[in-house]
């Protein structure tokens, strides 16, 4: 049994979550709070309170019994949706032209020229990324970033070092829009051992103020735990699977096959037998799916329907005071389209449910490897 705890954070100061190593002049920030940063902040708060590494610490932060998911920007009372790599919008005006938004995954079977242009201006469509906080009407959501210029400190004297400036972007709690509405950051913590719930809630209640990211000695990274409670139930996988296949079957008309999509909600780190990162050569068997399950190919082609991007994820080990090795992973938002024979449907569905609940790949306790099966955008926003 997996217990999902919904967590909401509010920013009291800008947060510096570096997208890359700080070896360049302008360091960009992530537009979300990764599970790695949340896990590190809670572990630091636990050690500050307990002073030692005990069994509860090992269960909460070292074992695989708890997974700390990414926290996305959100408006109060609204659910945030991550845009997949198949999402499209007006190339010139983006999602300001709301009617241009569509999903292109199912174009593999049926695509007309009418779907490749913006209904409002007649321009071409292009990929859009980011988040939505509403589909009807389409309401894009982005967090505003702020550019900060700082001076380096001479360690021997404690004064400003000459000719040493550095610039970095920080994440703020303001929405990137005219109203500059205040944003929260929401995500989930998954407990595979429900007996840890009381300890986790106790830790969150005792440490409502946390510090994340870089630049904390300069006043950055202060956040507040606004709420934590059991997450509400989501639409069952079986219903999403049926709706996805109902739309697919209208254009494919092949009753011998069943189809499903895998959409990465966080970065996916996989390695082969030689410890090399698995990227473009990924197969259904890397997800533990049964033999006979394959990726869908474009008509009259051997090219598989995979929308993949790679990303290099840096990190910092606070316990050792050293950088973590870079992790090369598949980027969140990547989409894969699979198929199986009708006779394999039950076995495949059972494995897909396991993938959704447990995740896939390495570093899952840091939020990696979260996957959505038959993501609703793919069949509700296809036209």
Query: Cα(102)–Cα(91) distance, rounded to whole angstroms?
Result: 12
Least confident of 83-87, 113-117, 271-275: 113-117
Query: Cα(318)–Cα(48) distance, rounded to whole angstroms?
Result: 13
Q: What is the pLDDT of residue 43?
A: 92
For residues 7 and 164, which has the higher predicted lDDT (pLDDT)? 7
Structure confidence at residue 114 as a pLDDT band (50, 70, 90): low
pLDDT in tens, 247-300: 998 888 788 899 999 999 999 999 999 999 999 899 999 999 999 999 999 988
Mean per-residue pLDDT, 147-151: 83
For the domain 237-380, what is the CATH code? Answer: 2.60.40.4350
Q: What is the pLDDT of residue 26?
A: 75
Q: What is the mean pLDDT of the chain?
A: 90
Judge whether residue 198 has pLDDT over 70.
yes
Structure confidence at residue 245 as a pLDDT band (50, 70, 90): very high
Say what the pTM is.
Answer: 0.92
Domain ranges of the chain: 3-79+181-230, 86-128, 237-380
For residues 88 and 112, which has the higher predicted lDDT (pLDDT)? 88
For residues 152 and 112, which has the higher predicted lDDT (pLDDT)? 152
Q: What is the pLDDT of residue 112?
A: 65
Q: What is the pLDDT of residue 22?
A: 66
| DSSP assignment letter at 233 | P
Q: What is the pLDDT of residue 23?
A: 64
Judge whether residue 242 has pLDDT over 90.
yes
| DSSP assignment letter at 109 | T
For residues 301 and 336, which has the higher predicted lDDT (pLDDT)? 336
Q: What is the pLDDT of residue 307?
A: 96
pLDDT in tens, 7-46: 999 999 999 998 887 666 678 899 999 999 999 999 999 9
Judge whether residue 334 has pLDDT over 90.
yes
For residues 134 and 276, which has the higher predicted lDDT (pLDDT)? 276
So what's the architecture of 3-79+181-230 in CATH?
2-Layer Sandwich (3.30)
CA distances from 210 to 34, 66, 86, 177, 317 (A): 14, 19, 36, 27, 17
């Amino acid at each position: 049994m997996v217990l999902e705890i919904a967590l909401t954070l509010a920013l009291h100061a800008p947060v510096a979550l570096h997208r890359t190593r700080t070896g360049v002049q302008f360091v960009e920030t992530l537009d979300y709070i990764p599970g790695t940063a949340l896990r590190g902040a809670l572990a630091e708060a636990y050690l500050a309170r307990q002073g030692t590494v005990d069994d509860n610490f090992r269960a909460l932060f070292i074992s695989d019994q708890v997974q700390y998911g990414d926290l996305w920007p959100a408006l109060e009372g609204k659910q945030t949706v991550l845009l997949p790599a198949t999402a499209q919008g007006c190339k010139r005006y983006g999602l300001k032209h709301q009617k241009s938004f569509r999903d292109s995954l199912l174009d593999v079977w049926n695509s007309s020229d009418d779907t490749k242009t913006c209904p409002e201006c007649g321009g071409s469509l292009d990929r859009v990324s980011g988040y939505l906080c509403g589909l009807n009407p389409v309401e894009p959501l982005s967090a505003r970033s702020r550019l900060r210029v700082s001076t380096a400190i001479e360690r021997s004297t404690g004064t400003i070092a000459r000719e040493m400036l550095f610039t970095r972007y920080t994440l703020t709690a303001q929405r990137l829009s005219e109203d500059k509405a205040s944003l929260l950051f929401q995500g989930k913590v998954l407990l595979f051992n429900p007996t840890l719930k009381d300890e986790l809630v106790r830790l969150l209640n005792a440490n409502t103020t946390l510090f994340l990211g870089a630049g904390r000695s300069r006043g950055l990274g202060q956040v507040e735990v606004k709420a934590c409670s059991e997450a509400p139930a989501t639409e069952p996988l079986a219903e999403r699977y049926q709706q996805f296949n109902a739309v697919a079957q209208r254009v494919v008309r092949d009753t011998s096959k069943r189809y499903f999509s895998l959409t990465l909600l966080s970065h996916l780190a996989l390695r082969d037998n030689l410890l090399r990162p698995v990227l473009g050569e990924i197969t259904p068997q890397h997800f533990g799916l049964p033999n006979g399950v394959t990726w869908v190919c474009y008509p009259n082609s051997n090219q598989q329907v995979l929308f993949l991007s790679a990303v290099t994820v840096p990190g910092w080990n606070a316990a050792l005071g050293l950088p973590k090795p870079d992790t090369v992973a598949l980027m969140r938002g990547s989409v894969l389209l699979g198929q199986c024979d009708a006779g394999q449907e039950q076995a495949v569905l059972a494995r897909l449910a396991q993938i959704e609940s447990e995740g896939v790949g390495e570093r899952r306790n840091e939020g990696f490897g979260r996957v959505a099966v038959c993501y609703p955008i793919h069949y509700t926003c296809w036209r």
